[in-house]
Amino acid sequence: MKYIPVIGLEIHAELLTKSKVFCGCANEFGGEENTRVCPVCSGMPGTLPVVNQGAVELAAKAGFALGCTVNNYSAFDRKNYFYPDLPKAYQITQFQYPICSDGIVRVCGKDIRINRIHIEEDAGKLIHDDAEGISMADYNRCGVPLIEIVTEPDFRCVEEVQAFVEEIARRLKYADVCDARMEQGSLRVDVNISIMPENTKEFGTRAEIKNLNSVRAIGRAIEYEITRQTNILEHGGRVTQETRRFNDRSGETASLRSKEEAHDYRYFPEPDIPPVFISEERLDRIKAEMPEMPNVRFERYTNEYGLLEDEARLIVEDKAFSDFYDETVGIYPAYKETSNLMLVELNRCLNDSNGKMSEIKFTPQMLAELVSMSDKRIVTKNAARDILAIMFETGSNPESIARENNLVMSTDTDELERIVEQVIAQNADGVESYKNGNEKIIGFLMGQIIRILGKSADMKKAKEILLEKIK
Ligand SMILES: [Zn+2]
């Protein structure tokens, strides 16, 4: 029998605030253990948490970025459970009244529904030392602000899930909500997955795979679960509802706890934190600060600018790169030429030098000048690439680079004619062969002309003269 997977996601994203969500401790990654902890985030009795308004605004931005309704009213609850990385023995989260609800994100031609986004605090980290047989607790991460994005079970294959996670990561980065560094754990994904026989409507029993930290791991864990659950059903068994862990080395998932052991969190309203009200005016202000989202840019690049989907995808991948492109074509609207120069030559320079967009020495204004010089045939396309590489090195302006390096296209027709005649004279055999129908020889003859003239040659004009003279 063929089975269809039914998948929903819970995505945890750490917010890019300066301080933690309920205290003044710094919100940073790494560093020495237990150096960013205070009585509030370590849950000492008698301390009072205060909501970080920066975290509230970033959560609202996440809502706008993912097409959600951002609610004027939300409230915090306590989720009670004991674990050594949680010194308070409860987590402050939003249960009944989340800050955002009902979003939609389109991937792979399909609308994926987001049920809710809520704010909560992260727990600490346990470091297991197998050699010593001990575990140590690091509370630096306690109280780091998180949002949890909960989707409906709308995914039916790995590709949809992976495309969605990549799109969410991109949008959160664009909005400066989260740096989405999955390898550092600032974006973590839980996958809920069940399978059902094809042509049925009733979902099967699901397993939850916790804390996947790469797009590849998500794909492998889902593939493994589909096979595992299919084998159980094919042998007449029943899938049990449980939480599982994915082992990146073996590529397998293993049971962490079953439903019988599942927590009863005994949520109740957090008595120390008043509800959060956000006025319409404040929401309007937050919304006005939102940058254009990558999906909107993608549509503009492909529909209005005529770029190929692959080109548009590569440009929007990085916001700084896409911003630079937008500024450049805003000054001189040669969409394709700018895209070519940036994706090929600029990316090559960045890769070779391990450089960052934020450190580039030239401005969009200067790139626009270069593109216009190429477009107006002041320099050839080849020369434009060389000039860009020099701009990248030196930050000089394209016009002086072209002049100093003899890359300005020659408009001297007399010289062109003289050189074409010289090449014809030196290649009598080639010309003869052309007259006998060998048109490919033109490429060879043009090569001889470029060799003498260099990259500043007006190739179009040279070819016209050549064809005219050997006709
Ligand atoms: Zn603290």
The pLDDT score that the predictor gives to residue 223 is 96
The pLDDT score that the predictor gives to residue 382 is 87
Residue 148 has pLDDT above 70, yes or no: yes
Q: What's the CA-to-centroid distance between 45 and ligand 1, angstroms?
A: 14
Q: Which sign, positive or negative, has the C-alpha torsion 111, 116, 121, 127?
A: negative
Q: What's the CA-to-centroid distance between 120 and ligand 1, angstroms?
A: 15
Spatial distance between the Cα atoms of 21 and 124, rounded to a whole number of angstroms: 14
Helix (H) or strand (E) holding 55: helix 53-65
Q: What's the CA-to-centroid distance between 141 and ligand 1, angstroms?
A: 9
Intervals of CATH 1.10.10 along the chain:
413-470
Q: What's the CA-to-centroid distance between 73 and ligand 1, angstroms?
A: 26
Q: What's the CA-to-centroid distance between 382 and ligand 1, angstroms?
A: 57
Return the percentage of the chain with pLDDT > 70, whole number.
Answer: 99
User: What is the band of 221 on the pLDDT scale with cuts at 50, 70, 90?
Assistant: very high
Average of pLDDT values for 401-419? 83
The pLDDT score that the predictor gives to residue 380 is 87
For 441, the token pair is 């020889």
Spatial distance between the Cα atoms of 155 and 195, rounded to a whole number of angstroms: 11
Closest by CA position to 402, among listed 366, 427, 442: 366
The pLDDT score that the predictor gives to residue 371 is 96
Q: What's the CA-to-centroid distance between 56 and ligand 1, angstroms?
A: 17
CATH number of 413-470: 1.10.10
The pLDDT score that the predictor gives to residue 429 is 87
Average of pLDDT values for 348-369? 95
Most confident of 138-147, 263-272, 425-434: 138-147
Q: DSSP secondary-structure letter at 405?
A: T
The pLDDT score that the predictor gives to residue 118 is 98
The pLDDT score that the predictor gives to residue 283 is 97
Spatial distance between the Cα atoms of 135 and 102, rounded to a whole number of angstroms: 40
Write down the mean pLDDT value for the chain. 93
User: What is the band of 146 on the pLDDT scale with cuts at 50, 70, 90?
Assistant: very high
Question: Do the Cβ atoms of 259 and 241 come closer than 8 Å?
Answer: yes
Most confident of 188-197, 235-244, 455-464: 188-197
| 3-class SS of residue 153 | coil
Q: What's the CA-to-centroid distance between 116 and ligand 1, angstroms?
A: 27
Q: What's the CA-to-centroid distance between 150 and ligand 1, angstroms?
A: 27
CB count within 10 Å of CB 229 equals 22
CA within 13 Å, CB half, 36: 21
Q: Which sign, positive or negative, has the C-alpha torsion 273, 275, 277, 278?
A: positive
Q: What's the CA-to-centroid distance between 27 and ligand 1, angstroms?
A: 9
User: What is the band of 449 on the pLDDT scale with cuts at 50, 70, 90?
Assistant: confident
Q: What's the CA-to-centroid distance between 441 and ligand 1, angstroms?
A: 76
Residue 259 has pLDDT above 70, yes or no: no
The letter for the amino acid at 286 is: I
Q: pLDDT tens for residues 361-375?
A: 999 999 999 999 999
Average of pLDDT values for 237-262? 85
What does DSSP say about strands 242-247 and 207-212: parallel, antiparallel, or unpaired?
parallel
Residue carrying structure tokens 């209005």:
304
Return the percentage of the chain with pLDDT > 90, whole number.
Answer: 76
Write 340-347 long-range contacts (CB < 8 A, 24+).
Answer: 341/367, 341/370, 341/371, 341/384, 341/385, 341/388, 342/315, 342/367, 343/311, 343/314, 343/315, 344/385, 345/385, 345/388, 345/389, 346/388, 346/392
Residue 262 has pLDDT above 70, yes or no: no
User: What is the band of 464 on the pLDDT scale with cuts at 50, 70, 90?
Assistant: confident
Q: What's the CA-to-centroid distance between 43 and ligand 1, angstroms?
A: 9
Longest dimension (CA), the chain: 99
- What does the angle CA 218 – CA 223 – CA 224 come to, to the nearest 5 degrees? 100
Helix (H) or strand (E) holding 419: helix 413-426
Q: What's the CA-to-centroid distance between 47 and ligand 1, angstroms?
A: 10
Closest by CA position to 450, among listed 461, 439, 440, 435: 461
Average of pLDDT values for 33-59? 95
Q: What's the CA-to-centroid distance between 33 and ligand 1, angstroms?
A: 13
CB count within 10 Å of CB 350 equals 18
For 216, the token pair is 């590849």
Q: DSSP secondary-structure letter at 412?
A: -
Q: What's the CA-to-centroid distance between 387 and ligand 1, angstroms?
A: 52
Q: What's the CA-to-centroid distance between 239 and ligand 1, angstroms?
A: 42
Residue 35 has pLDDT above 90, yes or no: yes
The pLDDT score that the predictor gives to residue 101 is 98
| 3-class SS of residue 258 | strand
Q: What's the CA-to-centroid distance between 35 and ligand 1, angstroms?
A: 10
| 3-class SS of residue 359 | helix
Q: DSSP secondary-structure letter at 205?
A: -
Q: Which residue has better confidence, 389 or 448?
A: 389
Residue 438 has pLDDT above 90, yes or no: no
For the entire predicted model, the pTM comes to 0.86
Q: DSSP secondary-structure letter at 260?
A: G
Q: What's the CA-to-centroid distance between 14 and ligand 1, angstroms?
A: 16
Q: What's the CA-to-centroid distance between 130 and ligand 1, angstroms?
A: 29
Q: pLDDT tens for residues 73-102?
A: 999 999 998 889 999 999 999 999 999 999
Spatial distance between the Cα atoms of 326 and 294, rounded to a whole number of angstroms: 12
User: Near ion ligand 1, which residues have CB within 5 Å?
Assistant: 23, 25, 38, 40-41
Average of pLDDT values for 387-415? 89
The pLDDT score that the predictor gives to residue 263 is 67
Q: What's the CA-to-centroid distance between 21 and ligand 1, angstroms?
A: 9
CB count within 10 Å of CB 249 equals 5
The pLDDT score that the predictor gives to residue 347 is 96
The pLDDT score that the predictor gives to residue 50 is 97
Q: What's the CA-to-centroid distance between 20 and ligand 1, angstroms?
A: 7
Q: What's the CA-to-centroid distance between 77 and ligand 1, angstroms?
A: 19
Average of pLDDT values for 106-115? 96
Q: What's the CA-to-centroid distance between 161 and ligand 1, angstroms?
A: 35
| 3-class SS of residue 115 | strand
Q: What's the CA-to-centroid distance between 418 and ligand 1, angstroms?
A: 79
Q: pLDDT tens for residues 119-143?
A: 999 999 998 888 889 999 999 999 9
Average of pLDDT values for 167-178? 97
